[in-house]
Amino acid sequence: MTRVEDLADVPGAPGQTSDATRRTEILRIANDVIAPFGLRTSLQQIADGAGILAGSLYHHFTSKEELLVELIRRYHADLDSIGDIALARSDGSDPRPYSVQIVELARGIARCAVNHRAALQMLIYEGPSTDPELIEVTQRRPEKVIAAMLRTLRTARAAGYIPSDIELPTLADRMCQSMLRVGLDTSRDKAAGDAVAVLQCKVLLYGLAAIAPTDGSLDGSTAFAAARDVIGTWTDDEDAEPADRAAHIRATARAEFGRRGYEMTTVRDIAAAAGLATGTVYRVIGSKDALLTSIMQSFVHKVGTGWTSVLASDSTPVEKLDALSWVNINALERFPDEFRIQLAWMRQSPPAVYPGWSLATRLRQMKLLLTEGVRSGEIVIDTPSTEMLARCIIGEQWLPENILRDLGKRQALIHARDTTLRGVARRDQ
């Protein structure tokens, strides 16, 4: 096989490419290699994927951080371009139906996410780096596409497509974040990004419920009571006695994993933050994977118990979907560090076996619930498959953390009801 550096070393060789072209090709390969593994990907792995020697890779990138920064900058540039085009079209002169305009923008965002999976990996999964440039690019919000979505939604509201009681800035942010999640392999699975984006738009715009439920009816459901009862039993490792050294280490590690990201946190970091010797942490807990597992077992048990109680309740499918959202909202509000750590398992190749939680089990439960709702006529939506819809709903039930923080739990629940059950737009337009 002819390698990239073989051509580079032969002046005038057929197919010889410029440094810029080779750099672009290396970035394309790095995108594919990094996407499943994140920051733990080594330059050697990228060089192997590109069919070049590691030394040749340093001719184009002096460090892994420089390569990551370039990947994320290109992602931002493509996303900004989508926002610029949409902003130029959102002056009210577009004759197409508002649903088409919204979905077209959403699909563009989703396509960008699929094309830049490695950058998305950094932005969603990884904690902050010590590299200043990497910190700068990972903290940047996709302001242009959010602004474009907001302007499109406002134009649609002026025409009566979206009711006046819907908070449009929050909706625009939510829709953009939902479309970006289409780039995650476990969210999309093997489905086409466009198809997933269209389905998620249908859910967000029109909701699942054939008849929009009121807040009062949902608050009074048996499923909601079951969720509330389980949430009331939740405790935190921080509630443990100070003498419990293992609980102290877990609480410290949880905060460090949530702040730094799993990949970037070492046992030495955890020991320093806990005021203990590194050897002590190893003796009490074991390996970093074992420590992570011990932290997450409690979290997944809490969420899993909530799911079990809600699904076993004597309620309708729509009421159960609502109660599951309430479980997730409270889990995210009470245990934000665990939620961030949980994202590590959303990779195609997770760092360890996820303790006590199976995506396959949750998908099966969600598919059964959705199928029951469709058969009874309570849920109405046109979907390519129940599998795709189940993945979509499981993802949407975990609200973006910034939206929960800004709205608070009760308003976040109402927002979830609007965007997954009742819908925010008129179905007849």
What is the tens place of the pLDDT at every residue in 191-219? 888 999 999 999 999 999 999 999 999 99
Contact at 8 Å (CB) between 197 and 182?
yes
416 assigned to some structural domain: no
155: CATH: 1.10.357.10
The per-residue pLDDT for 326 is 98
> What DSSP element (H or E) covers 302?
helix 288-312
List CB contacts of 406: < 8 A, sequence separation 6 or more: 170
Task: Render pLDDT for 265-305 as a digit per residue (tens, 0 to 9).
Answer: 888 999 999 999 999 988 888 888 888 877 788 888 889 99
Q: Are residues 188 and 327 in the same domain?
A: no
Residue 127 has a pLDDT of 55
C-beta of residue 293 within 8 angstroms of C-beta of residue 262: no
C-alpha R_g of the chain: 23
pLDDT of residue 231 exceeding 80, the answer is: yes
Assigned domain for 287 exists? yes
Q: pLDDT tens for residues 180-194?
A: 989 887 777 778 889
Q: Which of 76, 61, 71 is nearest to 27 (CA)?
A: 71
| Model pLDDT, residue 5 | 39
Minimal CA–CA distance to 115: which of 59, 164, 76, 163? 76
Please give the pLDDT value at position 385. Answer: 93
Q: Does residue 346 surpass a pLDDT of 70?
A: no
3-state secondary structure of 333: helix
Tell me: pLDDT of 370 over 90.
yes
> Which tens digits make up the pLDDT trace of 103-135?
999 999 999 999 998 888 778 766 556 677 887
Of 206, 227, 261, the last residue of a domain is 206
Tell me: the pLDDT tens digits for 377-405? Answer: 999 999 999 999 999 999 899 899 999 99
Domain that holds residue 139: 72-206
Which stretch of DSSP H or E encloses residue 202? helix 193-206
Mean pLDDT across 162-184: 93
Same domain? 220 vs 364: yes
Residue 379 phi, psi (nearest 5): -115, 130
Higher pLDDT, 19 or 16: 19
pLDDT score recorded for residue 203: 96
In a domain, 189, yes or no: yes
* Neighbour tally for 279: CB within 10 Å: 10
Could you give the C-alpha distances from 245 to 274, 275, 283, 299, 323, in angstroms and in order?
Answer: 10, 11, 11, 19, 36
Residues 246, 161 share a domain: no
pLDDT band at 235 (very low <50, low <70, confident <90, very high): confident
pLDDT in tens, 257-267: 777 767 678 88
Give the pLDDT of residue 8: 40
**pLDDT for 37-56, tens place per residue?**
666 777 888 888 888 887 78
Q: How many Cα atoms are found within 13 Å in the side-chain-facing hemisphere of 110? A: 24
Does residue 319 sit in the same domain as residue 243?
Answer: yes
Instruction: For residue 233, count CB atoms less than 10 angstroms from its CB and return exposed for 0-12, middle for 13-18, buried for 19 or more.
Output: exposed
